[in-house]
Structure 1
């Protein structure tokens, strides 16, 4: 087990905190959301939004920042000084992409060197940032001419090109944008137009979706604490594409329904909003993430049985039950939600894909016997790679004689004002 370096900066310096978060992701392998939560108690409420903006932004444009640092430094920072490399990124990102005045961005970043206990490097950090300010226009042109302007690892660009020869550039461009904020209105409380009026009364403008009866897109994202009656369970933050899962499943009251790989519970709660009298079993392998399912159910005042369990080994927890419907939200590369989780670009490896494909296939084939005859299974991923999606389903149908595909498979791609990249296949047991 790798022990993470935990720094509790005193005096307070949010640039030092940001560099620690980036270090935890890129050098320690933490997810960005996990690294942010680790530092949550060290961040003041007024700085929370700026910390998120800087950290998510750095993950989006990482190759650009790396290019500038390499151009400005004769030797890379290594070993225990590596965190200062990330502090430089924080400074350059602020200069390029935030409204923080340049002198404040430089000054506060330089002060972060002391907080990180590297005072000998203070002059170097100051020099690099001031040189960047002087040469910013020239360096930007150089990056556009020579750098990795896709802002993606080359292996992923190659796979996206191969899968979508006509759309790959649009997919890459959309991945590099900030994601829209989608809401799912709980129609047991409000219709979408009525909740839209409630938002408007709080000066929050939104746009409904003519093809999705539960969905609202906020014109400008806000914190959940600003959403009217959020704590009462009236509304849930959930991407448009993810909202399709429960609708495709078509849950009915009285049925026994399995939500497999269910954490953090957004789809579990949606199933119960559509069929409040359904008997839902929500299963996930991660005990920490299972707690999130319970929290979401509690907020929405919904009831489901929630257990920790491995999708590969349903015999350990299903107790011989057969389900009317199964939603399998399979573990995947998450290449469809990169704009929402830009750290995926740098944490995922090409070798992960084959391992994930095998894991998905094992879960799918092992859970199939637990579906009743005539029952429905939705296979879902938040991936855009055919190996995990279309090819996976074709392979499954070729060897499982009582599985039948209902309608066509659905592959959503990330779109600017639409949903994330999701895949759905609806199977019935004949």
Structure 2
């Protein structure tokens, strides 16, 4: 692939300016801040370009860190280090002409940290001269090769001995933009036609069955601003990954029967509200959307308002029902439990660098606590759907196996289990099946059984 030589982004901002912002974002992630928060601090005009560069850099950060360590064993101050890492990562990819990239990185240093501009220039030009040798020295470094922390790689090797490399490589890919048509507003096939007429979709092939209990995600070949989606502001469509679209129908149609109108449903850990909205699109339910983070809960309200749907939203800790539960049992519970987010790394490339190995056991403890707390709130005969956007078994099947062993009135039903974002897990039509996820469907034994 030939490299571009442009020094400006589509927003006509100079590359040095975007590199400066990218260095800030990379430094923030390495200090433990999420990329989402780091990008929120950027000026609006800078944000798209800085995000694009940051995504590319974080997908090659293992390589870049190993190279920087060889070229500059003693780390410079965080922003300069972020700039070096960004330039080295991008120099290993197809985005820019390498010499142009070096010139623009030096320009960024001159404008932001002039005393360090000589170091930046010397390090990057040495990399260009010795690139083949330096990269060859990384062949035996799994972190540099797979661009994931060593502990993450080892856990995948243990959990998925046949698929671990495929999972790691899939995490490096740009995911598709996947949509969910609002079936209260029209059929999925009809919305695909609207996308075609808007020039956003060329392949109109769709499944012959357009049933609420069989989700038909719409995959766009390229991501677009949501304002370009026909009827987005009117609630005709939502952006939701294909794997996440499984949740609502699996619970609404659990046991082969649709939840009746007015059924009480708890969506625990509901933010940002995609699954809450999907539940209400499929049936007339009495939904309580719970989330411990008031700011994230506000996004649930925004989503429901756009779609013209209503739910009771409560800011509270799902593991402490005594602080929010009204004592009336729920017919169904959706628990999208807090997790490592290891299944959505292709959409959030910073996650792999933010998580620590010790986080997984701590998260598993939280997942157990929430399961234990919510189970008594479920009516006998009701269903609980447990899901996580994780590919780690400790956050998926291991949690359910342990729960079933300690909960005599819980019974497991057919569910997808672990879904992996790899080729072997494409759906029958060969489409992207979505992010890494885990699903388990449980029912509570009826009284007297």
When the two structures are superposed, what TM-score results if normalisation uses the length of structure 1?
A: 0.90
C-alpha spacing 1:206/1:38, structure 2 compared with 1 (3 Å): farther
> How far apart are the structure 2 equivalents of 1:342 and 1:177?
10
Structure 2 residue matching 1:213: 3-state secondary structure: coil
Within-5 A mapping of 1:196-215: 196-205=192-201, 210=207, 212-215=214-217
- Whether the 8 Å contact between 1:13 and 1:115 is mirrored in structure 2 is no
Matched, 1:270 2:266: no
> How far apart are the structure 1 equivalents of 2:94 and 2:289?
41
> CA deviation digits over 1:62-117, x for unaligned, max 9?
1111122222225321xxx221011112222333335334444223222222443x
Question: Which residue of structure 2 aligns with residue 49 of structure 1?
Answer: 48
Given the alignment, which residue of 159, 163, 180 partners 1:163?
Answer: 159
More displaced, 82-91 or 92-101? 92-101
Shift of 1:145: 5.0
> How far apart are the structure 1 equivalents of 2:202 and 2:235?
19
Given the alignment, which residue of 5, 18, 24 partners 2:28?
Answer: 24
Shift of 1:267: 0.3
Structure 1 residue matching 2:137: 3-state secondary structure: helix
Shift of 1:133: 2.5
More displaced, 188-197 or 236-245? 188-197
Structure 2 residue matching 1:143: 3-state secondary structure: coil
Question: Which residue of structure 1 aligns with residue 379 of structure 2?
Answer: 372
Question: Which residue of structure 1 aligns with residue 7 of structure 2?
Answer: none
> CA deviation digits over 1:210-237, x for unaligned, max 9?
4943411111222222211211111111
Q: Which runs of 5+ in 2 are unaligned?
A: 1-15, 253-258, 424-431
> How far apart are the structure 2 equivalents of 1:226 and 1:136?
42
Question: Which residue of structure 1 aligns with residue 69 of structure 2?
Answer: 70
Question: Which residue of structure 2 aligns with residue 331 of structure 1?
Answer: 338
Given the alignment, which residue of 349, 361, 371 partners 2:368?
Answer: 361
Within-5 A mapping of 1:294-305: 294-305=301-312
> How far apart are the structure 2 equivalents of 1:13 and 1:363?
45
C-alpha spacing 1:252/1:413, structure 2 compared with 1 (3 Å): farther
> CA deviation digits over 1:306-346, x for unaligned, max 9?
11010110111012121111000011111111111111111
Matched, 1:137 2:140: no
Shift of 1:408: 4.7
**How many residues are paired up?**
410
Shift of 1:400: 1.2
> CA deviation digits over 1:261-294, x for unaligned, max 9?
000001000001101x211100000111111111
Shift of 1:135: 2.7
- Whether the 8 Å contact between 1:186 and 1:214 is mirrored in structure 2 is no
Across the aligned residues of Structure 1 and Structure 2, the Cα RMSD in angstroms comes to 2.0
> How far apart are the structure 2 equivalents of 1:225 and 1:72?
45
Within-5 A mapping of 1:282-361: 282-361=289-368
Shift of 1:130: 2.1
Q: Which runs of 5+ in 1 are unaligned?
A: 1-11
Question: Which residue of structure 2 aligns with residue 128 of structure 1?
Answer: 123
When the two structures are superposed, what TM-score results if normalisation uses the length of structure 2?
A: 0.87
C-alpha spacing 1:252/1:126, structure 2 compared with 1 (3 Å): farther
Within-5 A mapping of 1:89-168: 89-116=85-112, 118-146=113-141, 148-168=144-164
- Whether the 8 Å contact between 1:192 and 1:213 is mirrored in structure 2 is no
> How far apart are the structure 2 equivalents of 1:253 and 1:58?
49
> How far apart are the structure 1 equivalents of 2:260 and 2:127?
60
- Whether the 8 Å contact between 1:196 and 1:206 is mirrored in structure 2 is no
Structure 1 residue matching 2:145: 3-state secondary structure: coil
- Whether the 8 Å contact between 2:267 and 2:287 is mirrored in structure 1 is yes
More displaced, 264-273 or 196-205? 196-205
Given the alignment, which residue of 375, 389, 402 partners 2:396?
Answer: 389
